[in-house]
Structure 1
Amino acid sequence: MRTEDVLAAIATGLWRWENASGTVTLDAEAARLLELPAEAGEYPESIVRSRFHPVDWNEINGIVSLAAAEGTIAEARLRVVDEAGHVLRIVRSRSKPVLREGDYELTGMLQEVAEPQPGTAAHTPVTGDWRRSREAFLLDAGRALAEARSTAEVLRVAASLSMPGFSPDGLAVFGVAGDRLTIIGHHGHNAGDDNPFTDMSLDTEYPAAEVVRTGRASYLPTPAEYRRRYPATWPLAQRFGRQSWAFLPLIVAGRTMGAWMAAFKHPVAFTPDERSVLTTVARMLAQALARAGVAESERELALGLQRSMMPVLGPEVPGMSVAARYIPTGGGLQVGGDWYDMIPLPGGTSHAAGPGGGRIALVIGDVQGHDVRAAGLMGQLRIALRAYASEGHRPDAVLSRASRFLHGLHDFFGADTYEDDDYSSPRFATCLYLEVEPATGRIEIARAGHPEPVVRTSDGTVLLRPTDGGLPLGIDPDSDYPTTRLVLEPGETMMICTDGLLETGGHDLDTGLARLRRILEQHTDLSLEELADTLVQAVHGPGSHHTTGPLADRREDDIAVLLIGRDGAPPRKAPRRTAMSVAQAEPERIATARQQVRELLHDWKDQEQIDAAVLMVSEMVTNVLVHTDGNALLVAEVTCGDAARQLRVEVADTSDELPHRRRPGEMASSGRGLLLMEMLADAWGVDPRGEGKSIWFELYESAVPEPVSDPAA
């Protein structure tokens, strides 16, 4: 009897599919099963493809590729359909793929099988519920693995996967370290069970090691198969009592990064459908582990950057208290361009304990941007500032050198160094540099485009301290940075911060300062550490002083804030005082002078006296700018006498010419300054000095004394 007759008797046909030529050769029985003329012949691939259900045909490529990679039989169940798409029969294909220069030739058989009865499709790897269940499982598995952020999360997801019909009860993920096999994680085993596998040579005759060496999966459906193929390591696996094992390579971008083991307590035949599911899961698992590895490397880099760049305060400062907070913007590396620093200074005349006689520098700054480059520039600029300060330079010289340093960085690297436009543009930085003498409270300030400091006096009054300044660092290498001097009295607190603390939440600098002023005035009983937390929480809410958490992603800008308090009990009736200079080239600062006086008199009883004081200050400062060639120096002080408070304002200049009272006509635009002071002030006068003069006035909150004579009359 001929073989063809036997195959025809059992409804089995033969076919050969040549991928290179795109042709399929069928015998008569195979042609009949595919609803083609029942005679042997060669057909184009398109004709044969039209006889199969489109979903089944799409799966053939995956099944054949898997079988070719593993050197196994490709087996599939395919639905034969008519032109209308109705299923006519189901055939089973078993064939052996042979690779030929990148293409393959498939030789095998087709056999008709009985259609599954209702209710059994869920357990049969053919069409219907089983296929939908498998597809749903793979979608859910892919989604869960894609959302995993760490290796531990990936392993938890892998352990929770419930594969349709053949869920493993033991899992292990192997990695590679040099020429050694390691275990990244496992599930379904007791503690210590992984010891024999944690440091195994890749040359070991163990399934996972072989999979890593060859990049090909290994399926062991029975203990006998395991013992036959891997007799040396079978005793290690025997004690777990499993019946079937699948070891699959974890491949990413063509590189085998490890292996995945799925072990079963029940026998598994590892049909092509089951192998396809396992292969897909292994592919998704490899990609998830690779993503998690990259994310963990980035987090480790971020933590390293944070540890190396995170601002820190030095030892305690005798005579002063210091507190600080740094809150990076959300996401990314959790480091940005804001920073603060405390630097011991050499030399000095203070007798306080500590390096350099106790003198320190306090620095706060903000490099433009929130990216890696901003963090890198911040680190370089911070080191440069420490170096210049440690050399003993004055505040203005420190900032001048730092500006040239930052400007030179861009000139040195050049725009061609960076491909991205955001990286090729120059960066600037704002900075506030304070040289502090803790024993006396004397502070010298140099400012480079940074928000000015805020001082809370011992009675709770909050004042913005106008400070001379220059351009931000890095813009003009020859920029000057004038120095402002002030004294922090016992019981007073100074706040310096970056603009993130002021402008977050849709505020500008003015409204942001008003928000913080209320907090500073309302919490005079808090320690500096508690006050620092309160200021940050007012911007971002509770818990936002931490550098991570759900609030981190909503931060608009980095925040750095530094609080300095002068220790010691304040005088019983300590004065509140403000001082500022108005240069000839800065007439706009007259408005700041007026605002300073209003803030100084924020709790003054008589609003008309406040308006009068503001008017006189405006006249005095304007007269200096109009009638002299020098700058105006304003000093205003509120003191408490035995009966009431009084305001004294002095405006000094370098001109020796004393003011004279004039009688301006109705149309005159000037000449009324002394007349106003005579009408509005409780006392006023002009004091000649060695270089220049000082004109002053006083206002008393209660009883008005007899007016004093005009010294210029």
Structure 2
Amino acid sequence: MRTEDVLAAIATGMWRWDNESGTVTLDAEAARLLELPDEPATYPTSAVRSRFHPVDWSEINGVITLALAEGTLAEARLRVVDEGGRVLRTVRSRCKPVLDGETLSLIGTFQEIREPQPSASAAQAPVTGDWRRSREAFLLDAGRALAEARSTSEVLRVAASLSMPGFSPDGLAVFGVAGERLTIIGHHGHNVGDDSPFSQMTLDTEYPAADVVRTGQAIYLPTPDEYRRRYPVAWPLAQRFGRQSWAFLPLIVAGRTIGAWMAAFRHPVAFSADERSVLTTVARMLAQALARAGVAESERELSLGLQRAMMPTTGPEIAGMALAARYVPTGGGLQVGGDWYDVIPLPSGHFALVIGDVQGHDVRAAGLMGQLRVALRAYASEGHRPDAVLSRASRFLHGITDAHASDDDRTGSRFATCLYLEVDPVTGLVETARAGHPEPAVITADGTVLIRPTEGGLPLGIDRDTDYPTTRLVLEPGETLMVCTDGLLETGGHDLDTGWARVRGVLHENAGHPLEELADTLVQAVHGPTSHHTTGPLVDRREDDIALLLLTRHGTPSPRAPRRTAMSVAQAQPERISGARRQLRELLHDWSDEEQIDAAVLMVSEMLTNVLVHTDGNALLVAEVTSSDHTRRLRVEVADASDDLPHRRRPGEMASSGRGLLLMEMLADAWGVDPRGEGKSIWFELYEPFTPEGTGPDGPASPEP
């Protein structure tokens, strides 16, 4: 008796699908079941596809892919429909995928069934459209959750929380591979110590996870008897957990098996095609998530290693001074960038503070930062002055970045901003050179915050021959110096001006607090809570790196310590007049009479403008506020190198100049012009009367003699 006759007798048809030719060959019984002429024939795939319900055809693709991956039979139920889409019958298809090179073919059978068959799983309902929708929703949610996991522990936590539709496992384990041994990356549903017998197994052990790693094929054990039959040696280890079914699936990434995933069930599971499909899909997503998490963790470890290698400590204590430092990396990538700080002991007994920012937030920027920091430390240790240190550093950076840029591509060129401060801890003298970097700020003993105008040059690396003038200031006892990179100022949509306003408010509110606490408060105002570690990871809302240094001079401030600020305005820098006005308002932030503040600002603007218009030299502004028992005094001096003394004029109504001295005579409490060898100084004073209750002036008061 022929095989065809036997199959026809039991209403079973044979078919073969050839991927290369795109055809399906049917015997007579298979053609009859598909409502085609009941004779052997070969049809285009599209002609056969039209005989099946569209939903079922979509399902069969996944079943075949699963069978091909596992090397098993593909089994599915397919509804046969007529040309109008009406269901005529349901057939069961069973086939064996055969892959020859890149050519895929399927050989299988069709057999009519009278009603939908329930899943063999004791816990699963019949495979219906509702179950399929539940499965798709579950896979979508699982994929999203695993994609968002950022560490191995998060991936394992997500995997443990997955609730599969109809057959959720109650025990999970993820195995990794270390050389020729299995390792347990994590598990769920087991007690502490339960993993001991399974850890460090060799790959040749007769254990399902080891077999899966060796072969890359899934293993399903639907009953304890099946487990005992196939793995008699490992069965006593598994028996004590009281499980009824087990699935071991390979974790494959880019064709490489990186481990195995075990799902164990307290209820019997037959592992139907649909159940295997769900488990296989979850295993693939889990493998990808673990691979991503491993890369991310390696990058974080590299990031922290780079930070520890590149960022210095603040060094030994400095006599008479306290120092606090923070470094906050940006949130993306390796969390290393071009910001840095350094504290350098100098041969003179002084020390240098350096803070800077290399252009970019990538590994290239971090590498250049490391080279530049070493170069700056070398130049400083040779005893060069601040201006010479920055000039040499600029030539160094220009040379190493220019070497990376071809004639046609200048993207290799980078620049860096930098602030270099040489500090005398005995006198508090600070000499500063600036290369395109934000200026330093000083918090006085009474909480006044002053941005100290500092002469500067171009950022390092742009021009080999840039000069960097030096600016001096004296840090008085009780005062704090702050230097930072622009990340502290411009994060959160701020520009330099509004960023300084935000930082000034934080400094003023926290004046007098311990230095470490003040450093944390400044960073928290931008990024949220941090720790005392200068290189520790923080929260994720980061737009730019931050480097921050705070320096306080010990000592008891005088109860009437003066406030002072100074700045120069060059002929080529008329825009600095607006900066001088801002500096004066900051100096007088708590002055009681707003009209006096406006008058002082007006006079300063007039004095500086006169120097730029009527002389060929630069102007030097010095402003100081002093206190006595009865009054506070503001004294402002503007000096220039011209010997020509100003004269009082009587300008007409239409005159555009000549009113400077008249304004001072009207607005100032005292004023004058003092010749000073080469040049002169024009000055004025304003007096704020003593107000014992703080409710307003207590009548006129005489200045302190």
Q: Which band: TM-score by shorter chain?
A: 0.7 to 0.9
The answer to whether the Cα contact below 8 Å between 1:125 and 1:273 also exists between their aligned partners in 2 is: no
- From 548, 551, 554, the equivalent of 1:564 is 551
User: Secondary structure at the residue paired with 1:149?
Assistant: coil
Cα deviations by residue, 1:466-493 (Å, 9 ceiling, x for unpaired)? 2211112222121111111121111222
Cα deviations by residue, 1:151-170 (Å, 9 ceiling, x for unpaired)? 22222333333434444343
Map of 1:510 onto structure 2: 497
Cα separation, partners in 2 of 1:568 and 1:39, compared to 1, 3 Å: same
Map of 2:382 onto structure 1: 391
The answer to whether the Cα contact below 8 Å between 1:172 and 1:187 also exists between their aligned partners in 2 is: yes
TM (norm. structure 2) is: 0.86
Map of 1:380 onto structure 2: 371
User: Secondary structure at the residue paired with 1:413?
Assistant: coil
Map of 1:405 onto structure 2: 396
Cα separation, partners in 2 of 1:93 and 1:665, compared to 1, 3 Å: closer
Q: Does 1:458 align with 2:458?
A: no
Cα deviations by residue, 1:596-618 (Å, 9 ceiling, x for unpaired)? 44444445566666566555545
Cα separation, partners in 2 of 1:155 and 1:397, compared to 1, 3 Å: same
Between 274-283 and 673-682, the greater mean CA deviation after superposition: 673-682
Deviation at 1:394, TM superposition (A): 1.0
Cα separation, partners in 2 of 1:416 and 1:163, compared to 1, 3 Å: farther
Q: In structure 2, give the amino acid aligned to 1:455.
A: V
Between 190-199 and 532-541, the greater mean CA deviation after superposition: 532-541
Instruction: Determine the C-alpha separation between the residues in 2 that align with 1:95 and 1:697.
Output: 101
User: Secondary structure at the residue paired with 1:433?
Assistant: strand
The answer to whether the Cα contact below 8 Å between 2:91 and 2:113 also exists between their aligned partners in 1 is: yes
Unmatched 5+ residue regions in structure 2?
A: 690-699
Matches within 5 A, 1:280-429: 280-310=281-311, 312-346=313-347, 348=348, 356=349, 359-414=350-405, 424=411, 426-429=413-416
Map of 1:46 onto structure 2: 46
Q: Does 1:686 align with 2:674?
A: yes
Map of 1:447 onto structure 2: 434
Matches within 5 A, 1:654-673: 654=641, 657=643, 659=645, 661=647, 666=652
Deviation at 1:127, TM superposition (A): 4.4
Cα separation, partners in 2 of 1:273 and 1:463, compared to 1, 3 Å: closer
Deviation at 1:184, TM superposition (A): 1.6
User: Secondary structure at the residue paired with 2:574?
Assistant: coil
Instruction: Determine the C-alpha separation between the residues in 1 that align with 2:56 and 2:2.
Output: 32
Matches within 5 A, 1:27-426: 27-116=27-116, 123=124, 126-310=127-311, 312-346=313-347, 348=348, 356=349, 359-414=350-405, 424=411, 426=413
Instruction: Determine the C-alpha separation between the residues in 2 that align with 1:282 and 1:586.
Output: 67
Instruction: Determine the C-alpha separation between the residues in 2 that align with 1:481 and 1:595.
Output: 24
Between 35-44 and 546-555, the greater mean CA deviation after superposition: 546-555
User: Secondary structure at the residue paired with 1:385?
Assistant: helix
Cα separation, partners in 2 of 1:447 and 1:35, compared to 1, 3 Å: same
Cα separation, partners in 2 of 1:671 and 1:270, compared to 1, 3 Å: closer
Q: Does 1:485 align with 2:486?
A: no
The answer to whether the Cα contact below 8 Å between 2:328 and 2:538 also exists between their aligned partners in 1 is: no
Instruction: Determine the C-alpha separation between the residues in 1 that align with 2:27 and 2:441.
Output: 94
Instruction: Determine the C-alpha separation between the residues in 2 that align with 1:434 and 1:111.
Output: 88
Q: In structure 2, give the amino acid aligned to 1:83.
A: E
Cα deviations by residue, 1:318-349 (Å, 9 ceiling, x for unpaired)? 21222334444444433443333322222x2x
Cα deviations by residue, 1:607-649 (Å, 9 ceiling, x for unpaired)? 6665665555455545554565543333333333565444444
Q: In structure 1, give the amino acid aligned to 2:456.
A: G
The answer to whether the Cα contact below 8 Å between 1:576 and 1:600 also exists between their aligned partners in 2 is: yes
Map of 1:711 onto structure 2: none
Q: In structure 2, give the amino acid aligned to 1:184.
A: I
Instruction: Determine the C-alpha separation between the residues in 2 that align with 1:321 and 1:33.
Output: 90
Instruction: Determine the C-alpha separation between the residues in 2 that align with 1:466 and 1:603.
Output: 21
Instruction: Determine the C-alpha separation between the residues in 1 that align with 2:167 and 2:683.
Output: 94
Root-mean-square deviation (CA), in Å? 3.8
Cα deviations by residue, 1:416-455 (Å, 9 ceiling, x for unpaired)? 899xx9xx26332222211111111111111112222222
Matches within 5 A, 1:510-659: 510-539=497-526, 552-604=539-591, 613-614=600-601, 617-618=604-605, 620-622=607-609, 624-625=611-612, 629-641=616-628, 643-654=630-641, 657=643, 659=645
Cα deviations by residue, 1:151-194 (Å, 9 ceiling, x for unpaired)? 22222333333434444343322212222222222233333332
Between 394-403 and 274-283, the greater mean CA deviation after superposition: 274-283
User: Secondary structure at the residue paired with 1:245?
Assistant: strand
How many residues align? The count is 691
Deviation at 1:306, TM superposition (A): 3.6
Q: In structure 2, give the amino acid aligned to 1:433.
A: Y
Q: In structure 2, give the amino acid aligned to 1:390.
A: S
Q: In structure 1, give the amino acid aligned to 2:35.
A: E
The answer to whether the Cα contact below 8 Å between 2:328 and 2:536 also exists between their aligned partners in 1 is: no
Q: In structure 1, give the amino acid aligned to 2:286.
A: L
The answer to whether the Cα contact below 8 Å between 1:249 and 1:258 also exists between their aligned partners in 2 is: yes
User: Secondary structure at the residue paired with 2:403?
Assistant: helix
User: Secondary structure at the residue paired with 1:143?
Assistant: helix
Between 242-251 and 548-557, the greater mean CA deviation after superposition: 548-557
Amino-acid identity (%): 78
User: Secondary structure at the residue paired with 1:203?
Assistant: coil
Map of 2:15 onto structure 1: 15
User: Secondary structure at the residue paired with 1:174?
Assistant: strand
The answer to whether the Cα contact below 8 Å between 1:11 and 1:29 also exists between their aligned partners in 2 is: yes
TM (norm. structure 1) is: 0.85
Cα separation, partners in 2 of 1:318 and 1:377, compared to 1, 3 Å: same
Q: In structure 2, give the amino acid aligned to 1:502.
A: L
